[in-house]
Amino acid sequence: MRSEVLNQTVEAVPDRLAIERIELRTVRLPLHEPFETSFGRIDSRLLFLVAVKGGGETGWGEVVAAEEPFYSYETVGTALHVIRDYLAPALLAEPVRDLSELAGRLAPFRGHNMAKAGLELAYMDLVARLKSQSLSQLIGGTRDRIPVGVSLGIQPTLDQLLERVDRYLGLGYQRIKLKIKPGWDIEVVKEVRRRHPDILLSVDANCAYTIADRDHLRQLDEFGLLMIEQPLEHDDLIDHAQLQSGIQTSICLDESITGIGRARQALELGSCRIINIKIGRVGGYSQALKIHDLCYSKGIPVWCGGMLESGIGRAHNIALASLPGFVLPGDISASSRYFARDLIVPEVTVSSDGTVAAPRGPGLGFDVNLDYITSRTETMMRLEPH
């Protein structure tokens, strides 16, 4: 179905598109408030932007890796190294035919999915702009409004969490996701559920438990959660399958799904009933589209995860989540959820019905504010063909 998108050529530049330059920038934006998960806490976001130039246009992408290797082994530093020394030279070496050929050129380099995705995203924005299509149109999106939820970090006190739950429900968000860890789980969920008996509520453990915690996690069953996201280790499928067979709540995998192969195995093993697709974690559009298509064909619900992206990554997430299989609210919040000012104009906003509009303009559908980016840039690197 959507896989034909993988082989679409760029009509504006028939057959092959020469990449003339790749620019890598790191840009730091402060967060309104710290974001805490089971593995740590951040106060600001070092964003990694990728600009790909060719055919007289510029396409923008974002590498979603963090500064430290907690969510994944990739970091801003590893991605800079891998793109500069391996991935970019492979793209600059000769013109690119289509997304599938681009993905094939990056495939020999093992892992480093977030680095690869940064390039795929920028390439796809460039192709969409050259074809005067929105990214959503280019990949076969069918939705013009995307249902969204919000992810709430671990808070210093329960009262502070409850205040944030009320605040984001008041803004219209359709689903609340609570970050949990041992010591901040059952009692917290119980209290949020007691105050909000009917909301869509989920939890995300970011790998904080082991299969030995099965009985403990089973206590979550009484709260009617939409899902429990990634309770066990980041690369596990087997223990998750065992846990899923013993609890009522649906397991959703995030960290464990690093590509189409892992998605297929997880579904075959029964490791989860829902998949969180993060375009960065799986290596870009080529894999994200395949995972979407697989899940859609099997009736497995998917939703779009978030990595505290700038508006550039956020705009790609919106395009992805416009595909028909994205039936659950994504972690696609308003720009203002994290940042005083975003890198795109207009910023991403969430309407009072808890949806975000998929823009219709070419490419990302937002303007990239280069002046603001430049004022916040920490490092900048230009790569060109030899």
Interface residue list for Mg ion (CB under 5 A): 204, 229, 254
Query: 177, 179, 181, 290: which is the annotated catalytic residue?
Result: 179
Q: Is 116 noted as a catalytic residue in this protein? A: no
CB 64 within 8 A of CB 309: yes
331 binds, among ligand SMG, Mg ion, none (CB under 5 to 8 A by kind): ligand SMG
37 binds, among Mg ion, ligand SMG, none (CB under 5 to 8 A by kind): ligand SMG
The strand pair at 355-357 and 367-368 is best described as: unpaired
Q: Give the interface size with ligand SMG as a residue count (CB under 6 A).
A: 13
Of 271 and 333, nearer to ligand SMG (C-beta) is 333
Q: Is 256 in the site for ligand SMG (CB under 6 A)?
A: no
| One residue of 306, 325, 329, 362 binding ligand SMG per CB under 6 A | 306
Q: Does 174 bind ligand SMG (CB under 6 A)?
A: no
CB of 304 to ligand SMG, least distance (A): 10
Cα–Cα distance for residue pair 309/327, rounded to 1 Å: 21
Cβ-based nearer residue to ligand SMG, 98 or 254: 254
Residue 331 makes contact with ligand SMG by CB under 6 A? yes
278 is catalytic: yes
Distances (CA, A) of 26 to 45, 196, 373, 376: 10, 40, 9, 8
**What residue 75 binds from ligand SMG, Mg ion, none (CB within 5 to 8 A, per partner kind)?**
none
Which residues sit at the interface with ligand SMG, rule CB under 6 A?
Answer: 37, 66, 71, 151, 204, 206, 254, 305-308, 331, 333
